[in-house]
Structure 1
Amino acid sequence: MPGDILPLQTAPHAFEDHAGEQPSIYQKGEFIALGSTSFVERLPNGDIIKTAWPGADRVTQRRRELATEAQIYDRLGEHACIVKKRAWDPDSHTLTLEYMPNGTLQAYLESCGDVAPSQRFRWIIQAAEGIQLLHRSSVIHCDIGPHNFLLDEDLNLKIADFAGSSLNHSATDTCPGVRYTPPHLDWTSWKDPGPEIDIFGLGSTIYYILTGKAPFSEFQSEEVERRFLAHEFPDLADIPCSEIIQRCWLQKFASADEVIELMKNIYAM
């Protein structure tokens, strides 16, 4: 999917899927990860640089997606919930961003499961506030999940990876996983994606933050989609924020503002 980042240990295998289009770019720093849109490297000064994959297959689309990501960072400006953009070079198709030392939210929870409830609730608020900013700026992320939230040195959560996002109602061909996407959507929904896509993903992200696993992690994708379509959700009986999670999945929130308001009212935050 656009912008999807492969872990470092699996990234080399991605080259096997692009036989004949090995990257003809000069190495800029330490290789970090590989996505379908770009290479991710860490520069000597510590920043992260994303370079559009230069192979012949989809090269124009990849460059366009990375350019859109740069536009979105400009639209959003500096904000506590957004990774900082350092620079965009349209000639080399490279986007430079601040480095986030604690990696993705998903990887952090996988390796550090013992996280205080107060920290988990703070992440939930920060995730909702980030989505609120996006939607107020006419941006739909389209791939909200724990893999696209990064953590800074103080464990503050920030949204990242806008390569497959929609700006000003633009179409997108991103294909997020079924656990983070409303099950009723068809391909026409991606011509003008709406906020409900991100809010559903927020519900699944909150579930992940509180449980350390994805919704229906024990099932294959087809079964997950069937259950979500039938409104058969994971058991939320002993999970905090269960009302918020379920309302996200049922599309009962009109905006991220409502999620934040309910969260703060319930937990007096």
Structure 2
Amino acid sequence: MYRNASFVKASSSNAFQHQDDTKQDPTPPPPYLEYIPVYGEWERKRYPNWPDARFQMPATKEHAGQVYYLRKGDLVGFGTTALVERLHSGNAIVKTPLRNPLDPTEERMNREAVAREAEDAQSCTLTLEHQSNGDLAIYFRDNAAASGVDLETRGKWATQAARALASLHDKEVIHADVAPRNFLLNSSLDLCICDFAGSIFPGGPEKTSAPGSRYQAGPWGRGYVPTKADDLFALGSVLYLIMTGNEPYIDLTDTEVERHFQAAEFPETSCIPYGSVIDDCWHGRLTTAHTVVQALNGEMGVSTAENRP
């Protein structure tokens, strides 16, 4: 059997055991998902001498959670609801909902999440323009040039992030996962928002994800339904990253950050660009994404005037 590298997703935190533990405990391990790519027809030109077997789905599986899928392009990564591949042309990204033979309900919800983004209930994949500079989190973490990004560009990103959120809120969509990983940069270093798998749409289900402790005013308990205010709070933390290159409280653990945020204790912003806007997002003084855009534009005007010769 021919295989490319597989991706394993455990259905339980105890899905993997050391060999010695397995010998001591004869109980079979809990089921897990294993995603195994099969080379697509488009790759025959790349590998003309390979046998047909490398381009065909295996007839049998080794365990119930094994999922074979035909590659549509080069793997970018796995999300909560979909796998993401870059087409061979290099200018487009394809999202395919994750199959889950161990949980048909989750598989159905994965398909619905991708279909919502495509605005097509019959769609089984979603094709998007490739954003060549990746997401904000990776850009600041891995790109040596990120530290030299000028204030004008940072201001542009901040405004584009706020405008993107305003556009969603105008349509009564709550993103519910506003974080640097969900803002992408194209070849011109323009920013756009992405990943609506956990978003709340009018009349849609309220199954959401969470952006993480640095992007939440407090923990979201079971059954919590995020609001526009939660998106705006998270936007403040995204703006903080854009202006400083670091997440809020970068040196603290998630638990420590959660404790500070619940007590409304936020990083000092008075000495960073657009600091007052960030602080207003965190304290809820800016109640709509449009007011954030206006505040950013106001600060930008002040900054431009101060730097004018």
Report the RMSD for the aligned CA atoms in angstroms: 2.2
The structural deviation recorded for 1:25 is 1.3
The answer to whether 1:215 aligns with 2:248 is yes
Once structures 1 and 2 are overlaid, which stretch shifts more, 153-162 or 20-29? 20-29
The answer to whether 1:173 aligns with 2:174 is no
The structural deviation recorded for 1:175 is 2.6
* Residues in 2 aligned to 1:70 and 1:118: alpha-carbon distance in whole angstroms: 37
Q: 1:24 aligns with which of 68, 73, 86?
A: 68
The answer to whether 1:182 aligns with 2:214 is no
Q: 2:133 aligns with which of 94, 98, 102?
A: 102
Higher-Rg member (1/2):
2
Q: 2:168 aligns with which of 134, 147, 150?
A: 134
Q: Which runs of 5+ in 2 are unaligned?
A: 11-32, 35-62, 305-309
* Residues in 1 aligned to 2:104 and 2:280: alpha-carbon distance in whole angstroms: 39
The one-letter amino acid paired with 1:96 is T
TM-score by length of 2: 0.72
The structure with higher relative contact order (CA 8 Å, sep 6+) is 1
The structural deviation recorded for 1:68 is 3.5
Once structures 1 and 2 are overlaid, which stretch shifts more, 212-221 or 152-161? 212-221
* Residues in 2 aligned to 1:49 and 1:63: alpha-carbon distance in whole angstroms: 19
Q: 2:181 aligns with which of 135, 139, 147?
A: 147
In structure 2, relative to structure 1, the CA distance for the partners of 1:231 and 1:53 (3 Å cut) is same
The number of equivalent residue pairs is: 242
Once structures 1 and 2 are overlaid, which stretch shifts more, 51-60 or 244-253? 51-60
Partner of 1:203 in structure 2? 236
- Percent sequence identity is 33
The structural deviation recorded for 1:58 is 4.2
Aligned pairs for 1:1-269 within 5 A: 15=8, 17=10, 18-19=33-34, 20=63, 21-46=65-90, 47-72=92-117, 74=119, 90=122, 93-110=124-141, 111=143, 112-168=146-202, 170-183=205-218, 185-190=220-225, 193-268=226-301
Tell me the alpha carbon deviations over residues 155-186 of structure 1, each in whole angstroms, 9 at most, x when there is no partner.
10000111111001641231320111221643
Partner of 2:15 in structure 1? none
The one-letter amino acid paired with 2:70 is Y
